[in-house]
């Protein structure tokens, strides 16, 4: 039992509470009626997906800066979790859009940005699979992650201008405390679960990467490569 297992368990308990409250206790949304309940699952997923992918950006900066495999493993763990959460987010979004807007897909800035974010990070994970040399893989993954992540604000504003006629659906004025509680609980639940999963994945990936690199925990300087080969 490590601490992240406890965090994972707490997360699942909180998620059950938050979702239960959202499903059965929260008042029905005036405009969206039952469909409004989707937001208690959807909005926390959106926050956590963005948090996870933001973490992978910082991990990529760390990996490129230090050359340490700890950061490299963190990039993969967070990117992988973030990609799955973003895919879930898009599915939830289209399931929310169908009863409210009448169609599954809309070129809403947030929806479109999430879709592009998903494709960008799938690209990062694919290119990571292709490179077998651990040191080169660290660099390639980190660069692809940084280049992909800095695109996010530009994509968002670009799509926003492109679809400038579209209505915004966030409605803080209709959110009262009975709606905030389940939302907040579910958000912390998703955060705990995602962080725990990232940490579990991080340990596994780090073990694999360090086994692949013959010299564990060496800084990834090109000069050290020859040293690592001499040990064999």
Partner 1 sequence: MSGAHHRLPGALRQVVLVLKKDLLIEWRARARGFALASFAVTVLLLFSFAVGPNTEVLRTHAGAYLWLAVLLSSTLLLGQSFQIEVEAGALEGLVLAPVEPAALFYGKALSNTLQLIGLALVITIPMLALFDAGLAGSPAWYLVVVVLGTAGVSAPGTLYAGLTARLDNRQLLLPLLLFPLLVPCLLAAVKATTLLLTGDAMNQVPSWLKLLAAFNALYWSVCGALFPRVIDA
Partner 2 sequence: MDESQVGSGMVDGAWGYVIVVYAATWVVVVGLAVRALLASRGSGPASRTDGGVGGST
For residue 84, state whether it binds partner 1 (rule: CB under 8 A).
Answer: no
Specify whether the CB–CB gap between 137 and 125 falls below 8 A.
no
The token pair at 150 is 């800095």
* Half-sphere exposure for 154 (CA within 13 Å, toward CB): 5
Single out the residue of 161, 184, 152, 179 nearest to residue 50, CA to CA. Answer: 152
Minimum Å gap between C-beta 28 and partner 2 is 7
- Tokens 């966030």, residue? 170
Residues that bind partner 2 (CB under 8 A): 8, 12, 15, 19, 23-24, 28, 31-35, 37-38, 41-42, 45, 81, 84-85, 87-88, 91-92, 95-96, 98-100, 190, 193, 196-197, 200-201, 203-204, 207-208, 210-212, 214, 216, 231-232
Task: Determine the size of the site formed for partner 1 (CB under 8 A).
Answer: 30
Q: Which does 8 bind (CB under 5 to 8 A by kind): partner 2, partner 1, none?
A: partner 2
Q: Which is nearer to partner 1, 10 or 151 (CB)?
A: 151
**Contact status: 61 vs partner 1 (CB under 8 A):** no
Question: 23 or 154, CB closer to partner 2?
Answer: 23
Task: Give, in order, the Cα–Cα distances in Å from 148 to each of 60, 67, 122, 157, 226.
Answer: 11, 19, 10, 15, 32
- Asked whether position 139 contacts partner 1 by CB under 8 A, the answer is yes
Sequence-ordered alpha helix ranges (H) in 102-176: 109-130, 134-149, 151-162
Q: How far is the CB of 168 from partner 2 (least distance, A)?
A: 19
What's the token pair of residue 130? 């292709």
Q: Does 63 bind partner 1 (CB under 8 A)?
A: no
Taking the C-alpha atoms of residue 114 and residue 149, their distance in angstroms, rounded to an integer, is 12
Single out the segment in contact with partner 1 by CB under 8 A; choices: 34-42, 85-93, 123-131, 198-206: 123-131
Q: Give the contacts of 122 (CB within 8 A, at least 6 positions apart).
A: 83
Contact footprint for partner 1 (CB under 8 A): 64, 116, 119-120, 123-124, 126-127, 130-131, 135-136, 139-140, 142-144, 146-148, 150-151, 154-155, 157-159, 161-162, 222
């Amino acid at each position: 039992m490590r601490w992240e297992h406890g965090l994972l368990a707490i997360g699942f308990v909180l998620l059950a509470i938050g979702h239960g409250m959202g499903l059965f206790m929260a008042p029905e949304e005036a405009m969206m009626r039952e469909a409004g309940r989707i937001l208690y699952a959807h909005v926390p997923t959106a926050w956590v997906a963005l948090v996870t992918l933001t973490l992978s950006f910082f991990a990529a900066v760390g990996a490129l800066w230090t050359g340490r495999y700890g950061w490299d493993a963190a990039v993969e763990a967070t990117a992988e979790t973030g990609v799955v959460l973003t895919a879930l987010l898009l599915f939830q979004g289209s399931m929310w859009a169908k009863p409210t807007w009448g169609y599954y897909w809309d070129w809403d800035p947030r929806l479109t940005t999430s879709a592009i974010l998903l494709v960008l990070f799938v690209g990062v994970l694919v290119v990571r699979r292709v490179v077998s040399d651990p040191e080169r893989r660290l660099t390639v993954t980190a660069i692809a992650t940084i280049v992909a992540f800095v695109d996010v604000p530009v994509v968002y504003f670009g799509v926003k201008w492109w679809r400038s006629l579209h209505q915004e659906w966030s409605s803080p004025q209709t959110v009262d405390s009975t709606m905030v509680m389940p939302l907040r609980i579910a958000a912390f639940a998703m955060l705990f679960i995602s962080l725990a999963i990232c940490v579990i994945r991080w340990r596994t990936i780090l073990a694999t990467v360090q086994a692949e690199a013959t010299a564990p925990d060496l800084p990834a300087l090109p000069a050290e490569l020859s040293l690592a080969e001499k040990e064999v």
